[in-house]
Amino acid sequence: MKRKALFVTTRLPFQETDGRRRLLFNYCRIFFELGYEVRVISSRDDEGMALKRPDFISNAKCGRSDVLLLRLFRVCCALLTLKKIPFQVVVAFSRKVQKLVDDEISNWLPDIVICDMVRSVPYVTKYRHSVPTIANLDDLLSIRYERQSRLRNPSDFWGGKKSGWMLSVPLVGQVFKWILRSETRRLRDYEKWVASQFSQVTLVSETEVYHLKRVSGVDRVFCWSMGVDVDWNVTAGSCGRPSVSFLGVMDAPHNLAAVRYFVEEIWPLVLRELPNSEFRVIGKGSDGNVAAEFSSVPNIVFVGQVDDVGGELRKSDVFVAPLVFGSGIKTKVLEAMARGLPVVATSVALEGIDATDGVELFCRDAAQDFASALVGLLRDSAQRQRIGQAGREFVSNRYGWNVVKRLIQESTSLLVGGAEDFENEAAGRA
């Protein structure tokens, strides 16, 4: 008889339009391959999209958010009470989603429940003593928000949805910084509480696994790493001129801040050496207000959302990840390396990725150093091929889906049995 795994997610794990969806897609696929029947309840998207589920997900349901007035009322209550729950958890909560979860757990009786990120935690909390529960937090948002609150440019807070009239209000940047700092403190406490209450917590970065274990004093924290499909047949660079790419949803503040830093500080240095170079920004939201913001900057193409990310990346010679804040492991870096693209990135973008600088990629923080490494790659095809191949082999060995599958199998076997089967399988491979 098949075991049952219920995923409670912030988005449906298919229609792979962003890194988180792709990761959840493969987590669900891995659970199916491990012998589970998989069902999903999402707090976003709609039932029409749920009908497009892949075959390895037996059922998918979506719940709508509560009305705005009720969500604002909850935020006010959170501000006035001593319960320091993160604002985003309060705002995102939906009674309709809770009912879907309650009905599914009561009627279907899953063997394990996995909630996706902190916003899904409340739906599962009351079942943590009756069924094995995993809080799949992805990364530690408290770290990301703390870094974000240090930004000097308040417009970077709002991502691609920044509002001009809002930014024109006096002191709005300072007010939002206060909100971010308060949310950082709430998240820090909430992450520790979740670690102490749930059967397991999982993160994508070993670095953050170690951090949460240290600050929470709990050992039930595991790494479910990012995974990528390695393409050994890709030959990058088909634009006919030196081409650089960046991939990311531009509604996310960390992606917008990265593009700003690159365009303002690094790109002029590159154009000084290679004036015919092209910078391609790929991802949802990059063809609207963001494109208008940089319309006066030469040689930038805002591609927007594409169905074939791999095909779009193949048009570039080098991939850049100039992030100035963030947390966890950046899927975009691994995807570029998996396709043989040489990568130049900041240290923030490479946290949790233990690749060798100068061998499998380039890590550069200062604008001049970043530009020099990028120009060197654009001028030297042999170096591009060497770095790209080494990066692809690194990703294959460390972030292939077979590696992620083993990590998931090892941690879940501690919760729902199967440890003996796992040991027998491991002995058979030895």
What pLDDT is attached to residue 263? 94
Q: Is the pLDDT of residue 418 over 60?
A: no
Q: Is the pLDDT of residue 160 over 70?
A: no
Rounded to an integer, the average pLDDT of 82-106 is 88
pLDDT tens digits, 325-344: 887 778 889 989 999 999 99
Q: Is the pLDDT of residue 104 over 80?
A: yes
Which residue has 């691609």 as its token pair? 160
What pLDDT is attached to residue 56? 95
CATH code for 243-399? 3.40.50.2000
d(CA 230, CA 2): 30
Q: Assess contact for 281 and 303: CB atoms under 8 A.
A: yes
Q: Is there a shared CATH topology between the 3-138+189-224+401-429 domain and the 243-399 domain?
A: yes
The pTM for the full model equals 0.80
What pLDDT is attached to residue 294? 81
Give the residue among 223, 186, 183, 184 at the shortest CA–CA distance from 201: 223
For 200, phi then psi, to 5°, come to: -150, 155
CATH homologous superfamily of 3-138+189-224+401-429: Glycogen Phosphorylase B; (3.40.50.2000)
Domain ranges of the chain: 3-138+189-224+401-429, 243-399
Q: Is the pLDDT of residue 254 over 50?
A: yes
Q: Is the pLDDT of residue 118 over 80?
A: yes
